[in-house]
């Protein structure tokens, strides 16, 4: 991945204050179900688009 720096440190992670961690957890909990729903919506939409093609009749 470009533009992503990964740092590896020995020892435990620093303590994170409770309110920011709660906010993050709440955001993740709301985003994940939406992503699952979006996958279904996109699949349904693609199935609709793959339906029968239009037929054009040109009078002669």
CA 41 to chain centroid, in Å, comes to 12
Work out the average pLDDT over 34-38.
82
> Can you give the pLDDT at residue 1?
47
Among residues of the chain, what percentage have pLDDT more than 70? Answer: 62
pLDDT tens digits, residue range 47-56?
Answer: 887 766 666 6
| Placement of tokens 């029968």 in the chain | 52
Q: What angle do CA 7, 11, 14 make, to 5 degrees?
A: 75
């Amino acid at each position: 991945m470009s533009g992503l720096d990964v740092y590896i440190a020995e020892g435990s992670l620093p303590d994170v204050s409770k309110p920011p961690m709660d906010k993050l957890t709440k955001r993740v909990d709301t985003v994940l179900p939406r992503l699952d729903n979006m996958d279904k919506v996109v699949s349904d939409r693609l199935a609709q688009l793959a339906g029968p093609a239009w037929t054009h009749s040109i009078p002669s």
